[in-house]
Amino acid sequence: MTSPDETFRSGFACFVGRPNVGKSTLTNALVGSKVAITSSRPQTTRHAIRGVVHREDGQLVLVDTPGLHRPRTLLGERLNDVVHTTWAEVDVIGFCVPADQQIGPGDRFIAAELAKVTAKTPLIGILTKTDLVRPEVIAERLLALHELAEFAEIVPVSASQGHQVSLLADLLLARMPPGPPLYPDGELSDEPETTLIAEFVREAALEGVRDELPHSLAVVVEEMTPGKVLTVRAEIFVERDSQKSIVIGKGGSRLKHVGTEARRQIEALLGEKVHLDLFVKVAKDWQRDPRQLRRLGF
Ligand SMILES: Nc1nc2c(ncn2[C@@H]2O[C@H](COP(=O)(O)OP(=O)(O)OP(=O)(O)O)[C@@H](O)[C@H]2O)c(=O)[nH]1
Protein backbone atom coordinates (compact mmCIF):
# COMPACT_ATOMS: atom_id res chain seq x y z
CA MET A 1 0.00 0.00 0.00
CA THR A 2 1.21 3.47 -0.80
CA SER A 3 0.09 6.22 1.51
CA PRO A 4 -1.45 9.26 -0.22
CA ASP A 5 1.64 11.41 0.19
CA GLU A 6 3.79 8.80 -1.56
CA THR A 7 1.59 8.93 -4.65
CA PHE A 8 3.36 10.11 -7.79
CA ARG A 9 1.58 13.11 -9.26
CA SER A 10 1.74 14.57 -12.74
CA GLY A 11 0.00 17.29 -14.66
CA PHE A 12 0.01 20.71 -16.22
CA ALA A 13 0.50 24.21 -14.91
CA CYS A 14 0.69 27.62 -16.52
CA PHE A 15 1.73 31.06 -15.36
CA VAL A 16 -0.24 34.18 -16.14
CA GLY A 17 0.47 37.80 -15.46
CA ARG A 18 1.23 41.08 -17.15
CA PRO A 19 4.26 41.29 -19.46
CA ASN A 20 7.58 41.53 -17.63
CA VAL A 21 6.37 40.25 -14.27
CA GLY A 22 8.94 37.44 -14.39
CA LYS A 23 7.04 34.44 -15.78
CA SER A 24 9.87 33.26 -18.03
CA THR A 25 12.51 33.72 -15.36
CA LEU A 26 10.39 31.75 -12.92
CA THR A 27 9.85 28.98 -15.46
CA ASN A 28 13.57 28.72 -16.04
CA ALA A 29 14.27 28.71 -12.31
CA LEU A 30 11.82 25.84 -11.82
CA VAL A 31 12.96 23.79 -14.77
CA GLY A 32 16.68 24.49 -14.71
CA SER A 33 18.52 24.74 -17.98
CA LYS A 34 16.96 21.66 -19.50
CA VAL A 35 13.97 22.13 -21.73
CA ALA A 36 11.71 19.43 -23.10
CA ILE A 37 11.73 18.83 -26.81
CA THR A 38 8.18 19.46 -27.85
CA SER A 39 8.13 16.89 -30.64
CA SER A 40 7.66 14.33 -27.87
CA ARG A 41 4.62 16.22 -26.63
CA PRO A 42 2.00 13.89 -25.22
CA GLN A 43 -1.39 13.92 -26.93
CA THR A 44 -2.97 15.31 -23.80
CA THR A 45 -2.07 18.89 -24.59
CA ARG A 46 -2.09 21.08 -27.65
CA HIS A 47 -0.06 23.73 -25.94
CA ALA A 48 3.55 24.67 -26.32
CA ILE A 49 5.58 23.29 -23.46
CA ARG A 50 7.98 25.62 -21.70
CA GLY A 51 9.62 22.97 -19.59
CA VAL A 52 9.19 19.92 -17.42
CA VAL A 53 10.00 19.77 -13.72
CA HIS A 54 11.09 16.25 -12.74
CA ARG A 55 10.96 15.27 -9.11
CA GLU A 56 10.97 12.12 -7.04
CA ASP A 57 7.35 12.69 -6.11
CA GLY A 58 5.96 13.97 -9.38
CA GLN A 59 6.24 15.69 -12.69
CA LEU A 60 5.08 19.16 -13.53
CA VAL A 61 4.65 20.21 -17.15
CA LEU A 62 4.69 23.97 -17.60
CA VAL A 63 2.69 25.08 -20.62
CA ASP A 64 2.60 28.35 -22.42
CA THR A 65 -0.40 30.53 -23.13
CA PRO A 66 -0.57 33.41 -25.55
CA GLY A 67 -0.82 36.79 -23.88
CA LEU A 68 -4.26 37.96 -22.88
CA HIS A 69 -5.61 40.90 -24.85
CA ARG A 70 -8.21 43.51 -24.25
CA PRO A 71 -10.35 42.16 -27.09
CA ARG A 72 -10.74 44.96 -29.64
CA THR A 73 -10.69 42.72 -32.68
CA LEU A 74 -11.99 39.33 -33.68
CA LEU A 75 -8.44 37.98 -33.56
CA GLY A 76 -8.09 39.33 -30.05
CA GLU A 77 -11.26 37.49 -29.07
CA ARG A 78 -10.03 34.27 -30.64
CA LEU A 79 -6.74 34.51 -28.79
CA ASN A 80 -8.57 35.06 -25.56
CA ASP A 81 -10.64 31.94 -26.26
CA VAL A 82 -7.38 30.00 -26.55
CA VAL A 83 -6.23 31.41 -23.23
CA HIS A 84 -9.50 30.51 -21.54
CA THR A 85 -9.36 26.98 -22.93
CA THR A 86 -5.82 26.54 -21.64
CA TRP A 87 -6.81 27.78 -18.21
CA ALA A 88 -9.65 25.30 -18.09
CA GLU A 89 -7.39 22.43 -19.17
CA VAL A 90 -4.42 22.86 -16.84
CA ASP A 91 -4.42 21.52 -13.27
CA VAL A 92 -3.25 24.74 -11.67
CA ILE A 93 -2.64 28.36 -12.66
CA GLY A 94 0.06 30.55 -11.15
CA PHE A 95 -0.92 34.23 -11.24
CA CYS A 96 2.28 36.32 -11.10
CA VAL A 97 2.33 39.85 -9.71
CA PRO A 98 5.63 41.68 -9.15
CA ALA A 99 6.61 42.86 -5.67
CA ASP A 100 8.20 46.05 -6.97
CA GLN A 101 4.94 47.44 -8.37
CA GLN A 102 1.52 48.22 -7.02
CA ILE A 103 -1.30 46.03 -8.21
CA GLY A 104 -2.87 47.90 -11.13
CA PRO A 105 -5.63 47.78 -13.75
CA GLY A 106 -3.67 45.24 -15.82
CA ASP A 107 -3.63 42.79 -12.91
CA ARG A 108 -7.31 43.42 -12.20
CA PHE A 109 -8.19 42.77 -15.84
CA ILE A 110 -6.44 39.38 -15.69
CA ALA A 111 -8.07 38.59 -12.34
CA ALA A 112 -11.50 39.29 -13.83
CA GLU A 113 -10.78 37.02 -16.79
CA LEU A 114 -9.47 34.29 -14.48
CA ALA A 115 -12.58 34.52 -12.35
CA LYS A 116 -14.60 33.35 -15.37
CA VAL A 117 -12.81 29.99 -15.50
CA THR A 118 -11.17 29.31 -12.19
CA ALA A 119 -14.21 27.84 -10.55
CA LYS A 120 -12.60 24.59 -11.72
CA THR A 121 -8.88 25.37 -11.85
CA PRO A 122 -7.10 26.27 -8.62
CA LEU A 123 -5.20 29.52 -8.59
CA ILE A 124 -1.91 30.18 -6.83
CA GLY A 125 -0.94 33.79 -6.22
CA ILE A 126 2.77 34.37 -6.83
CA LEU A 127 4.45 37.54 -5.68
CA THR A 128 7.56 37.72 -7.87
CA LYS A 129 10.85 39.65 -7.62
CA THR A 130 10.77 39.85 -3.82
CA ASP A 131 14.52 40.57 -3.82
CA LEU A 132 13.75 44.05 -5.17
CA VAL A 133 11.83 45.31 -2.14
CA ARG A 134 12.05 45.52 1.66
CA PRO A 135 10.20 42.94 3.81
CA GLU A 136 7.52 45.49 4.86
CA VAL A 137 6.69 46.05 1.21
CA ILE A 138 6.45 42.30 0.62
CA ALA A 139 3.94 42.05 3.48
CA GLU A 140 1.92 44.94 2.10
CA ARG A 141 1.86 43.47 -1.40
CA LEU A 142 0.87 40.02 -0.12
CA LEU A 143 -2.17 41.58 1.54
CA ALA A 144 -3.07 43.42 -1.65
CA LEU A 145 -2.62 40.23 -3.66
CA HIS A 146 -4.95 38.42 -1.27
CA GLU A 147 -7.68 40.92 -2.24
CA LEU A 148 -7.13 40.45 -5.97
CA ALA A 149 -8.59 36.97 -6.51
CA GLU A 150 -9.74 33.73 -4.90
CA PHE A 151 -6.36 32.11 -4.33
CA ALA A 152 -5.85 28.58 -3.07
CA GLU A 153 -2.37 29.63 -1.92
CA ILE A 154 -0.20 32.71 -2.03
CA VAL A 155 3.58 32.55 -2.13
CA PRO A 156 6.33 35.18 -2.40
CA VAL A 157 9.31 34.17 -4.57
CA SER A 158 12.48 35.52 -6.05
CA ALA A 159 13.33 33.55 -9.17
CA SER A 160 16.63 35.33 -9.67
CA GLN A 161 17.75 34.45 -6.11
CA GLY A 162 16.13 31.01 -6.22
CA HIS A 163 14.24 32.01 -3.07
CA GLN A 164 11.11 29.92 -2.36
CA VAL A 165 11.17 28.44 -5.86
CA SER A 166 11.13 24.86 -4.58
CA LEU A 167 8.28 25.72 -2.19
CA LEU A 168 6.35 26.97 -5.22
CA ALA A 169 7.10 23.66 -7.00
CA ASP A 170 5.69 21.83 -3.94
CA LEU A 171 2.51 23.90 -4.00
CA LEU A 172 2.01 23.42 -7.73
CA LEU A 173 2.69 19.71 -7.55
CA ALA A 174 0.23 19.27 -4.69
CA ARG A 175 -2.51 20.35 -7.13
CA MET A 176 -1.62 17.67 -9.70
CA PRO A 177 -3.71 14.52 -9.90
CA PRO A 178 -2.05 11.20 -9.09
CA GLY A 179 -0.66 9.68 -12.27
CA PRO A 180 2.43 8.41 -14.04
CA PRO A 181 5.03 10.76 -15.56
CA LEU A 182 3.83 12.30 -18.84
CA TYR A 183 7.41 12.40 -20.08
CA PRO A 184 10.12 9.83 -19.51
CA ASP A 185 13.16 11.39 -17.88
CA GLY A 186 15.25 10.77 -20.96
CA GLU A 187 13.13 13.13 -23.02
CA LEU A 188 14.92 16.06 -21.51
CA SER A 189 17.79 16.77 -23.74
CA ASP A 190 21.40 17.78 -23.45
CA GLU A 191 21.73 18.08 -27.18
CA PRO A 192 23.62 21.04 -28.58
CA GLU A 193 21.58 24.20 -28.65
CA THR A 194 21.48 24.42 -32.43
CA THR A 195 19.91 20.95 -32.67
CA LEU A 196 17.24 21.91 -30.16
CA ILE A 197 16.60 25.22 -31.89
CA ALA A 198 16.21 23.47 -35.25
CA GLU A 199 13.84 21.03 -33.56
CA PHE A 200 11.72 23.85 -32.14
CA VAL A 201 11.43 25.47 -35.58
CA ARG A 202 10.60 22.14 -37.21
CA GLU A 203 7.96 21.39 -34.60
CA ALA A 204 6.34 24.81 -35.02
CA ALA A 205 6.43 24.49 -38.82
CA LEU A 206 4.70 21.10 -38.69
CA GLU A 207 2.03 22.19 -36.23
CA GLY A 208 -1.35 21.67 -37.85
CA VAL A 209 0.02 20.57 -41.24
CA ARG A 210 1.69 17.33 -40.17
CA ASP A 211 -0.47 15.28 -42.54
CA GLU A 212 0.44 17.40 -45.53
CA LEU A 213 4.19 17.47 -44.95
CA PRO A 214 5.03 14.47 -42.80
CA HIS A 215 8.77 14.10 -43.16
CA SER A 216 9.55 16.41 -46.01
CA LEU A 217 10.70 19.21 -43.78
CA ALA A 218 14.17 19.80 -42.37
CA VAL A 219 15.56 22.78 -40.50
CA VAL A 220 19.12 24.06 -40.35
CA VAL A 221 20.33 26.79 -38.01
CA GLU A 222 22.63 28.79 -40.25
CA GLU A 223 23.85 31.47 -37.90
CA MET A 224 23.58 32.71 -34.34
CA THR A 225 24.78 36.29 -33.97
CA PRO A 226 25.09 37.74 -30.47
CA GLY A 227 24.14 41.40 -30.03
CA LYS A 228 21.63 43.45 -28.10
CA VAL A 229 19.32 40.54 -28.85
CA LEU A 230 20.63 37.26 -30.17
CA THR A 231 19.83 36.88 -33.86
CA VAL A 232 19.16 33.34 -35.02
CA ARG A 233 18.95 32.63 -38.71
CA ALA A 234 17.36 29.32 -39.66
CA GLU A 235 16.38 27.76 -42.95
CA ILE A 236 13.41 25.49 -43.42
CA PHE A 237 13.89 23.04 -46.26
CA VAL A 238 10.98 21.46 -48.09
CA GLU A 239 10.96 19.22 -51.14
CA ARG A 240 8.50 20.96 -53.42
CA ASP A 241 7.17 24.44 -54.21
CA SER A 242 3.69 23.39 -53.13
CA GLN A 243 5.07 22.55 -49.68
CA LYS A 244 6.81 25.88 -49.55
CA SER A 245 3.47 27.66 -49.94
CA ILE A 246 1.97 25.54 -47.18
CA VAL A 247 4.74 26.51 -44.77
CA ILE A 248 4.65 30.19 -45.69
CA GLY A 249 0.86 30.48 -45.73
CA LYS A 250 -1.28 33.22 -47.20
CA GLY A 251 0.71 36.45 -47.28
CA GLY A 252 3.34 34.88 -45.03
CA SER A 253 0.87 34.54 -42.16
CA ARG A 254 1.74 30.98 -41.29
CA LEU A 255 5.49 31.51 -41.35
CA LYS A 256 5.06 34.48 -39.05
CA HIS A 257 3.16 32.30 -36.60
CA VAL A 258 5.81 29.58 -36.88
CA GLY A 259 8.45 32.20 -36.08
CA THR A 260 6.60 33.45 -33.02
CA GLU A 261 6.04 29.96 -31.63
CA ALA A 262 9.61 28.82 -32.25
CA ARG A 263 11.08 32.04 -30.86
CA ARG A 264 9.26 31.54 -27.57
CA GLN A 265 10.71 28.09 -27.17
CA ILE A 266 14.19 29.26 -28.12
CA GLU A 267 13.99 32.14 -25.64
CA ALA A 268 12.92 29.72 -22.91
CA LEU A 269 15.83 27.45 -23.79
CA LEU A 270 18.47 30.16 -23.88
CA GLY A 271 16.98 32.47 -21.27
CA GLU A 272 17.43 35.54 -23.43
CA LYS A 273 15.56 37.57 -26.01
CA VAL A 274 15.94 36.27 -29.53
CA HIS A 275 15.32 37.67 -32.98
CA LEU A 276 14.50 34.77 -35.28
CA ASP A 277 14.86 35.03 -39.05
CA LEU A 278 13.28 32.17 -40.96
CA PHE A 279 13.78 31.36 -44.62
CA VAL A 280 11.95 28.66 -46.54
CA LYS A 281 13.86 26.91 -49.32
CA VAL A 282 13.12 24.10 -51.70
CA ALA A 283 15.77 21.36 -51.76
CA LYS A 284 14.37 18.92 -54.29
CA ASP A 285 14.21 15.34 -53.02
CA TRP A 286 16.50 16.10 -50.13
CA GLN A 287 15.47 12.89 -48.45
CA ARG A 288 16.98 10.88 -51.26
CA ASP A 289 20.13 12.91 -51.81
CA PRO A 290 23.04 11.99 -49.51
CA ARG A 291 24.82 15.32 -50.09
CA GLN A 292 21.76 17.30 -49.16
CA LEU A 293 21.10 15.02 -46.21
CA ARG A 294 24.55 15.69 -44.82
CA ARG A 295 24.06 19.41 -45.29
CA LEU A 296 20.78 19.19 -43.41
CA GLY A 297 22.45 17.41 -40.53
CA PHE A 298 21.23 13.85 -41.10
N1 LIG B 1 15.38 41.28 -9.45
C2 LIG B 1 14.65 40.35 -10.07
N3 LIG B 1 14.37 40.49 -11.38
C4 LIG B 1 13.63 39.54 -11.98
C5 LIG B 1 13.14 38.40 -11.28
N6 LIG B 1 12.43 37.66 -12.15
C7 LIG B 1 12.48 38.29 -13.33
N8 LIG B 1 13.19 39.43 -13.25
C9 LIG B 1 13.48 40.39 -14.33
O10 LIG B 1 12.28 40.95 -14.81
C11 LIG B 1 12.31 41.11 -16.23
C12 LIG B 1 11.15 40.38 -16.87
O13 LIG B 1 11.28 38.99 -16.63
P14 LIG B 1 10.63 37.89 -17.59
O15 LIG B 1 10.86 36.59 -16.92
O16 LIG B 1 11.10 38.06 -18.99
O17 LIG B 1 9.10 38.32 -17.52
P18 LIG B 1 7.85 37.68 -18.30
O19 LIG B 1 6.70 37.82 -17.40
O20 LIG B 1 8.19 36.32 -18.79
O21 LIG B 1 7.72 38.69 -19.50
P22 LIG B 1 6.91 38.48 -20.90
O23 LIG B 1 7.62 37.40 -21.62
O24 LIG B 1 7.07 39.83 -21.54
O25 LIG B 1 5.52 38.17 -20.54
C26 LIG B 1 13.66 40.58 -16.66
O27 LIG B 1 14.54 41.69 -16.81
C28 LIG B 1 14.10 39.70 -15.51
O29 LIG B 1 15.50 39.64 -15.39
C30 LIG B 1 13.47 38.28 -9.88
O31 LIG B 1 13.10 37.33 -9.18
N32 LIG B 1 14.21 39.29 -9.34
- The CA distance from 290 to 72, in Å, is 51
Under-70 pLDDT residues of the chain: 1-6, 33-50, 64-79, 82, 118, 184-192, 214, 286-298
CA 127 to ligand 1 centroid distance, Å: 12
CATH of the domain at 217: 3.30.300.20
Q: Check whether residue 28 and residue 159 sit in a common domain.
A: yes
Residue 282, beta-bridge partner list:
238
Residues of the domain holding 9: 4-174
Residues 159 and 200 in one domain: no
CA 196 to chain centre: 15
Pocket test for ligand 1, best of 24, 95, 155, 164 (most atoms within 8 A of CB): 24
DSSP E strand stretches across 111-150:
123-128
Q: Are 71 and 219 in the same domain?
A: no
Does 104 belong to an annotated binding site? no
Task: Indicate whether 160 and 58 sit together in one domain.
Answer: yes
210 plus 95 within the same structural domain:
no
Structural domains in the chain (count) = 2
| pLDDT at position 283 | 82
Q: Could you tell me if 91 and 155 lie in one domain?
A: yes
Tell me, in angstroms, the distance from the centre of ligand 1 to residue 179's CA: 32
| Backbone φ, ψ for residue 49 (5° rounding) | -100, 125
Q: Do 195 and 169 have their domain in common? A: no
Sign of CA dihedral 179, 180, 183, 187: positive
Among 14, 15, 16, 20, residue to substitute to test ligand 1 (most atoms within 8 Å of Cβ): 20
Residue 66 annotated in ligand binding? yes
Q: What pLDDT was estimated at residue 103?
A: 96
Q: Report CA(160)–ligand 1 centroid distance (Å).
A: 9
Among 174, 204, 223, identify where a domain stops. Answer: 174
d(CA 209, CA 214): 8
In this structure, the answer to whether residues 107 and 215 fall within a common structural domain is no
234 and 115, same domain (yes or no): no
Q: Is residue 13 part of a domain?
A: yes
Examine the domain organization and report whether 167 and 85 are in the same domain: yes
Q: What distance in Å separates the CA atoms of residue 81 and residue 113, rounded to the nearest whole number?
A: 11
Q: Is residue 285 part of a domain?
A: yes
- Cα–Cα nearest to 94, from 168, 181, 9, 184: 168
Q: Does residue 182 sit within a domain?
A: no
| Closest atom of ligand 1 to CA, residue 157 | 31
Is 21 annotated for ligand binding?
Answer: yes
Of the candidates 208, 128, 194, 120, the one whose C-alpha atom is nearest the C-alpha of residue 161 is 128
Q: Is 168 in the same domain as 200?
A: no
pTM score, two decimals? Answer: 0.64
Known binding residue 121? Answer is no
Question: Residues 76-104, buried b or exposed e (16+ Cβ, 10 A)?
Answer: eeebbeebbebbebbbbbbbbbbbebeee
Final residue before a domain boundary, out of 145, 174, 203: 174
Q: What is the DSSP letter of 41?
A: -
Q: Is 227 annotated as a binding residue?
A: no
Q: Which numbered atom of ligand 1 lies nearest the CA of 132?
A: 1
Clarify whether residues 150 and 205 are in a common domain. Answer: no
For the CA of 159, the closest atom of ligand 1 is 31
Task: Evaluate whether ipTM surpasses 0.90.
Answer: yes
Pocket of ligand 1 (CB under 6 A): 17, 19-25, 128-129, 131-132, 158-160
Distance CA 31, CA 51 (A): 6
Q: Is residue 104 part of a domain?
A: yes
Q: CATH no. for residue 46?
A: 3.40.50.300
- CA of residue 168 to ligand 1 center, whole Å: 17
How much is the pLDDT for 286?
67
Kindly state whether residue 238 falls inside one of the protein's structural domains: yes
Domain finish residue from 109, 141, 174:
174
